[in-house]
Amino acid sequence: MTDKKNAFDLLRIFLALFVLISHGYLLGGYKVPDPLFIFSKGQTSFGEIGVMGFFALSGYLITASFERAKSILVFASHRVLRIFPAYWVCLLICAFIFAPLIFCINGGHLSDFIFSGNSSSLSFVYENLFLKIRQWGVKNILAYSAYKESLNGNLWSLFPEALCYIFTIAAGYCGLFNKNKALYLILFIIVLCFFAINLNFTENLGSTIMVLRNAFKLYASYTAGSIIYVYRDYLKFDLKGTIFSLLFSLTLIKFGGFNLAAPLLIGIVLINGFQLFRVRFKYDISYGLYIYAFPVQQILFLLIATKLPVIVFNLLSFVITGVLAFLSFILIERPAMRLREKTDVILS
């Protein structure tokens, strides 16, 4: 594992923390938005920067991974082994540990908990088995929560991520990463234009459009990260260039206009910034932090409500989720990734 990749592992941890911090204000019942939302006058938030940053970095790294892969089947197997094992275990833990725990905290008896049937723990697992979230919770266990819509709201973004992998396979097969780079740049410009239109003219068209619009932010970010990789010889900045990009982004965040260029700016600042230094980081707990933080914060709210300052609530959330993320990496993710060597031999 190279130093540069380790720097990106650290970046993913920071991005997961951004999401955790932003959700802490919502799930902790503090009834105020996160500081970046206030600073940007509603343009963006730590959570949005975190998720869009994840997708931009993913676009960069996954495009590079596709270029290195010996075949499409090898590439696809790597993606499956990275995403699904830890996701499936998280589903089981949410359904059969977190959900019953919340039910008992709310005063219910474990013998009365619905493990099977409609809107049960079992249905939560099989309805969501292949990333598309079709069941957001277990019965009405979130009736006393600050946020009642989802047991683990972070999981929804994994389906758009998987769609981006399919897009990468199609784009790579068509040679858009090398022989037809100019065509890929045209495609990216079209994506940005559609993103701008979608951003400005769908505000009042209903919840379905809103969900699609939020997902499109992620697709635009992923494509931006991919473009940064394909044109890395032209979009790689030194320290001064990266600082200027950061200051320019902060100016837009403060005074307006950031959202129009957010997918590209987030990718340029983060990817260039974390390529400027080298750091060794042994455990990539970012995925675990992302998929476990939401239910942990749901439980913490029921245990302590808003008795703690939000910074303490988020710190406690990070410590607990960090332990779960470490166990997920050691016990599930790393062994699954080690299977790549065996699958590479079979599929190559």
Burial profile 95-127: b = 16 or more Cβ within 10 angstroms, e = fewer: bbebbbbbbeeeeeeeeebbeeeeebbebbbeb
Q: What is the pLDDT of residues 132-184, one digit of tens each?
A: 999 999 999 999 999 999 999 999 999 999 999 999 999 999 999 999 999 99
**pTM for this model (two decimals):** 0.93
Average pLDDT over residues 236-246: 93
At position 221, the amino acid (one-letter code) is S
Can you give the residue ranges of every domain in the chain? 3-347
Q: What is the pLDDT of residues 306-317, one digit of tens each?
A: 678 999 999 999
CB atoms within 10 A of CB 210: 13
Average pLDDT over residues 77-81: 95
Residue 44 corresponds to which tokens in the numbers above?
């963006």
Percentage of the residues of the chain whose pLDDT score is greater than 90: 76
Average pLDDT over residues 199-206: 52
| Helical H segments across the chain, by residue range | 3-27, 35-39, 46-68, 72-93, 99-105, 121-127, 158-173, 181-201, 207-230, 232-235, 239-255, 258-274, 286-304, 310-328, 334-338, 340-347
Query: Considering only CA atoms, which of 161, 202, 129, 150 is closest in space to residue 51?
Result: 161
Query: What are the backbone angles phi and psi of residue 214, rounded to the nearest 5°?
Result: -65, -40
